[in-house]
A = this chain, B = another copy of it.
């Protein structure tokens, strides 16, 4: 039978994720499987948990990698905390804020939203104003909007939400491993991320963490979590404590890969990695501007790892992406929602975030744009 894997090309992944994967992570993923209740696997789980806590800057006992992709992490945070009728405020400035609104609404929450222009950040003063005299159970925000390349001031927003008394739910899918994430210091109560962005592991794992306050809220539910697979009351019994209780079969080899990704991150050091992202970003922006291209986002709000570039009016944006992929073996991303056709999204995430990769893309883009 034909096997498409025999003809896989080596593509430089500079889209919105997945990012390039280190050889050591591929090797880790191909390590022989063992049982999900095996004593040696449980040792690996403990190491993953410790490395993840360090990456998130948290002491939360409930810090685990969920067996699914980033959106399963979003689902996990909301489904464990929401009971029907709960009031949830979702701060929206892109696709992933909109997704939060949809996820929370499906779970029976009374969802209100505060929307900000796409390509700009959430404004803390507007959040404070909205919360005045109100009572929300959860306030949620996206740290790094993958659809626009904007960073929102989650630390500042966290202070307002904490004062209000709501649970603070933060999406760090694109930020984690590329810019600082300080779950405890920022007063975060529930946080999720994904393995395939700046952590540079293939997609399939969604790290989550819940504060003690969030764990209390889960424990105080009147109804069971309406999602058996993602019920943290049960998942934690497999990930913590002396007697590990079987819940579902963990994705063994994905967790090997995730473990190796975290090891690589802490061998290199978070600060050094953040600098690598910043340098790659600076090189990219300088190169793009030199070619006459414009960034969507104002400099002070730009994420280093996700760069939204305005497509010049006379250019067929899809044709350029196809040429980059087919001729130059480089992937970049398209715009989403209202930005479809208007921007390219260029990722310098994790292992990809190196000036030599940026230079290769700039040179290819120059060829395609006839510059």
- Interface residues in chain A, defined as those with a beta carbon under 8 Å from any beta carbon in chain B: 1, 3-5, 8-11, 13, 15, 17-18, 20-21, 26-40, 43-44, 47, 67-72, 74-75, 79, 99, 102-103, 105-108, 194, 196, 202-204, 224-229, 246-254, 256-257, 259-260, 263, 266-267, 325, 331, 336
Contact = CB atoms under 8 A, between A and B. Distances in A.
B18 A31 contact: no
From A5, A70, A263, A336, name the one whose CB has the most chain B CB atoms within 10 angstroms. Answer: A5
Closest 7 CB pairs between A and B? A204-B251, A71-B248, A30-B30, A202-B253, A26-B30, A203-B249, A75-B229
A32 B31 CA distance: 16
Given A251-B69, A253-B204, A224 B106 contact: yes
A204 B67 contact: yes
A19 to B, nearest CB: 8
From A68, A196, A225, name the one whose CB has the most chain B CB atoms within 10 angstroms. Answer: A68
B10 A32 contact: yes
B228 A106 contact: yes
Nearest to A259: B5
B34 A11 contact: yes
A334 to B, nearest CB: 8
A103 B228 contact: yes
